[in-house]
């Protein structure tokens, strides 16, 4: 069954179509939730909540733009809502808490497995991880991130810079065993 017919049948409430749509989207969407939340149980809960939102709002999808992009936006926004709800996200970190030694070590990244990189991203502090995902992965601007997270644009920029520094240091440790 193609994606369009799955969507139409899911809107009509056909359980089999909804199941197929769920199964086709679940692995990728769960990985998005893991990237933002870092905790498997919480990511699974938010993923399930996101699917409920998806199916409740499926009738609003108007075939403009990518369906996957529309779905992804639901999941990312639900993750951000969860982070705000838990008040776990700490965006204001002392400048002394971060080592700003950045070097250009692109060769480290080239020799990594994707799973290793995802594990390092998941281990970032929540604020760093959230801004890093929104900027580097989702493609939001710092202004958009600031609006979504109710922080300043400069805070978004500094969180991204700190995340990048933290990632580079972790990559160096992984590569050099330091």
Note the pLDDT of residue 118: 78
Say yes or no: do domains 3-86 and 95-176 share a fold: no
Q: What is the pLDDT of residues 38-97, one digit of tens each?
A: 889 999 999 999 999 999 999 999 888 899 999 999 999 999 999 888 764 454 444 344
User: Is residue 30's pLDDT more than 90?
Assistant: yes
The pLDDT value recorded for residue 130 is 93
Q: Which residue has the tokens 């369906």?
A: 67
**145-172: pLDDT as tens digits:** 999 998 999 999 999 999 999 988 887 7
Check whether 112 has a pLDDT greater than 70.
no
Fold of 95-176: Arc Repressor Mutant, subunit A (1.10.10)
> How far apart, in whole angstroms, are the C-alpha atoms of residue 104 and residue 49?
40
More confident residue, 106 or 79: 79
Task: Report the pLDDT value the prediction gives residue 151, as an integer from 0 to 100.
Answer: 92
What is the fold of 3-86?
Rna Polymerase Sigma Factor; Chain: A (1.10.1740)
How much is the average pLDDT of 122-128?
88
Mean pLDDT of the chain: 83
For residues 12-26, give the mean pLDDT: 95
Using alpha carbons, select from 131, 114, 123, 27 the residue that is nearest to residue 79.
Answer: 131
| Confidence bin at 113 (pLDDT 50/70/90) | low
Domain ranges within the chain, ordered by starting residue = 3-86, 95-176
| pTM for this model (two decimals) | 0.71
Check residues 24 and 121 and name the one with the higher pLDDT: 24
| Residue 169: per-residue pLDDT | 86
Q: What per-residue confidence (pLDDT) applies to 21? A: 95
Please say if the pLDDT value at position 107 is more than 50: no
Instruction: Name the CA radius of gyration of the chain, rounded.
Output: 18
């Amino acid at each position: 069954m193609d994606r369009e017919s799955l969507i139409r049948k899911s809107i009509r409430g056909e359980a089999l179509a909804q199941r197929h749509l769920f199964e086709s989207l679940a692995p990728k969407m769960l990985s998005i939730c893991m990237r933002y939340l870092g905790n498997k149980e919480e990511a699974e809960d938010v993923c399930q909540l996101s699917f409920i939102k998806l199916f409740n709002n499926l009738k609003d999808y108007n075939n403009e733009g990518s369906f996957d992009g529309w779905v992804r936006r639901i999941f990312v926004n639900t993750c951000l809502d969860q982070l705000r709800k838990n008040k776990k996200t700490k965006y204001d970190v002392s400048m002394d808490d971060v080592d700003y030694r950045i070097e250009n070590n692109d060769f480290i990244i080239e020799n990594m497995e994707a799973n290793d990189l995802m594990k390092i991203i998941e281990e970032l502090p929540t604020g760093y991880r959230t801004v890093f995902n929104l900027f580097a992965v989702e493609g939001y601007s710092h202004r958009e991130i600031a609006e979504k997270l109710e922080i300043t644009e400069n805070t978004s920029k500094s969180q991204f810079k700190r995340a990048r520094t933290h990632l580079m240091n972790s990559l160096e440790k992984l590569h050099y065993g330091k």
